[in-house]
Structure 1
Amino acid sequence: MRQGSSASRLLLVGCAAPAAAFFAAFWLLPVALLLALPASKGWGTYFAVLTNSRYLQSLLQTLGLSLTVTLVTLLLGALVGITLARQRFRGRQLLLSLLTLPLSFPGVIIGFFMILLGGRQGVVADLTHALGWGRFTFAYGLTGLFLAYLYFSLPRAIATYTAAASAMDLQLEEAARSLGASRWRVARDVWIPELAATTLACGAIVFATAMGAFGTAFTLASKFEVLPITIYNEFTNYANFALAASLSITLGLITWLVLWVSRRIAGPTAF
């Protein structure tokens, strides 16, 4: 028995060793270097995002944009998702497939779509020019980023709410209606509590995705700087690796904290 137990332990160690080595080399070591790098320029580098007005503005703009995108995504995603879950009509599956199609596109492609729509040579600019109003553009600032982030995030919310609403207990809604509850009362007393965990989990993921989005921002953020672009500029254009690491830590801590809090409230089964 002891020999068998020893052989099992050796086999377990042998199987776990490659995974442990991979984890140490490609996650633990880079994260340790990232955390230690700002100290080479002084401990104040860790707080540069709070002491430098440019970095603080970039952080606040990123937070504001991400929060706005998250709220609008949840609202539209819930409305569309619940409708698709409750209504049965011809072409429903095709419509759901089309609505979730942007899930297959990377952020750069989403940015390219926005340029085709609202860029200098886009459809809107050509239309306003033909009407004699000049070439109107919106792709390269806050409006373009917001629409692109929304376009990128909305399919995830629609798919999540559709699945969650389909799994809801219809008897609760039927009981509320039988007691004379109005549509708004049913939404308040049945839908919102039933979908609360889904809303919290989906909102956390949308927020984290918007905070760290780079491809879309890199394509469109020429007039509105967000933190991922600030980080990219620091280590690519200025070779300021310590400051880039500090900003990366700030971004990572914020997104991790939001995901951790939402997971604690909603429960692990919501993710």
Structure 2
Amino acid sequence: MSVSSKRNLSLMMLPVLIITCAFFLIPMGQLILVSVSGDNGAMNYWQALTDGRYLRSMLETLVLSVVTTLTTLAIALVAGLFLARNQFSGKAWLVSLMTFPLAFPGVVVGFLVIMLGGRQGLSAELGLLLDGSRWTFAYSLAGLFVGYVYFSIPRVLLTVMSAVEKMDLMLEEAARSLGASRLRIVLDVILPALKPALIASGAICFATSMGAFGTAFALASGINVMPMTIYTEFTLGANIAMAAALSIILGLITWLVLLLARSASGASSTPAA
């Protein structure tokens, strides 16, 4: 490579380096320094990993994110297969409606959940009509689960639809001609073909659920997921070092899942020798 080519490559890489330093390396370095500040120092991490309150918060966040991801994948898989392979009047409107939550911030999604399952919501009015009590679920993990699934479906659905449209239908026809049942075709042909897309979109869904704050903030009553715990430590407790340590731990867990998903997605999309 000539000197001029190296110079041009360096100039092209300069914006990437500036953005990486300004928006990732410097903020992360500062966050790490803050997390080991104060009287406890690096023991903040040990406390975050051993204190029962923080552990419960992390466990609730992990379980909620996993359940949200699995539910979203199941819904988006069925809907994506149907929408990608069928043409009918109003299909474009239906797809637009199912992807509409992408336009909503988390706080708005939280308000929608309150309108559905809050004390004055639809479920409460239905409960009053049926047994005289208000059926509410908005201010709990169930309400947060509904909100997370609501804004996660569009992201996964669009990815699944794109992957379905690229599938080779001849493989299904070959399996059908060999006498394979509909279930065997789904398990042996469709799911393996969609596996990279499902893993990639599922990882994004998991990461979004782990760090989502707006919806949890709108439904804050009785909810102890990690973003709310970090917010409480930072604002109400003024424990900035612990908030930073919890943020680092949350980020590392999410990053590890994304790394594993990328590896699995890449491996599954590589044809066997």
State TM-score, norm by structure 2.
0.90
Q: Shift in Å at residue 27 of structure 1?
A: 2.3
Q: Distance in 2 between matches of 1:207 and 1:240?
A: 27
Paired residue for 2:106?
Answer: 107
Q: Once the 2 structures are TM-superposed, how far is the Cα of residue 224 of structure 1 from its aligned partner? A: 2.1
Check the 8 A contact 2:113/2:147 in 1, yes or no: yes
Give me the identity figure in percent. 52
- Native 8 Å contact 2:117 2:124 kept in 1: yes
Could you list the runs of 4 or more consecutive aligned residues of structure 1 that deviate by over 4 angstroms after TM superposition?
11-19
**Contact 1:124–1:136 (Cα < 8 Å) also in 2:** yes
Deviation at 1:127, TM superposition (A): 2.9
Equivalent position to 1:30, from 8, 27, 30: 27
Gaps (5+ residues) in structure 2?
none
Q: Out of 146-155 and 87-96, give the one that drifted further.
A: 87-96
- Give the drift of 1:97: 1.1
Q: Aligned in 2, Cα 1:162/1:22: closer, same or farther, shift over 3 Å?
A: closer
Q: 1:177 to 1:49 in 2, by over 3 A?
A: same
Whole-Å Cα distance in 2 between the matches of residues 225 and 205 of structure 1? 22
Is 2:81 the partner of 1:82? yes
Work out the CA distance in 1 between the residues paired with 2:9 and 2:175: 55
State the AA in 1 paired with 2:91. Answer: R
Cα root mean square deviation, aligned: 2.1
Provide the C-alpha distance between the structure 2 equivalents of 1:108 and 1:131, rounded to a whole number of angstroms: 30
Q: Please report how far the alpha carbon of residue 38 of structure 1 lies from its aligned counterpart in structure 2 after TM superposition.
A: 2.2
1:64-108 Cα shifts (integer Å, max 9, x gaps): 000000111111110110111112222112111111111111111
Shift of 1:136: 2.1
Q: CA separation of 1:247/1:128 partners in 2, compared to 1, >3 Å: closer, same or farther?
A: same
How many angstroms apart in 2 are the aligned matches of 1:15 and 1:168? 36
Greater displacement, 22-31 / 180-189:
22-31
CA distance in 2, matches of 1:82, 1:69: 20
Taking a change above 3 Å as real, the CA distance of residues 201 and 19 of structure 1, as seen in their structure-2 partners, is: closer
Q: Give the structure 1 partner of residue 91 of structure 2.
A: 92
Unaligned runs of 5+ in 1: none
Q: 2:53 — aligned with what?
A: 54
Deviations 1:190-221 (A, max 9, x none): 00110111111111111000000000111113
Q: Which residue is equivalent to 2:225? A: 226
The within-5 A match list for 1:1-271 is: 5=4, 9=7, 17=14, 20-40=17-37, 41-131=40-130, 133-267=132-266
Structure 1: how far apart are the matches of 2:185 and 2:118?
A: 43
Cα distance in 2 for partners of 1:70, 1:22 equals 31
**Distance in 2 between residues matched to 1:22 and 1:153, nearest whole Å:** 28
In structure 2, C-alpha distance between the alignment counterparts of 1:35 and 1:118, rounded to whole Å: 39
Instruction: Report the residue type matching 1:39 in the other structure.
Output: V
With structure 1 as the length reference, what TM-score do the two structures score? 0.91
Would the aligned equivalents of 1:48 and 1:246 in 2 still touch at CA under 8 Å?
Answer: no
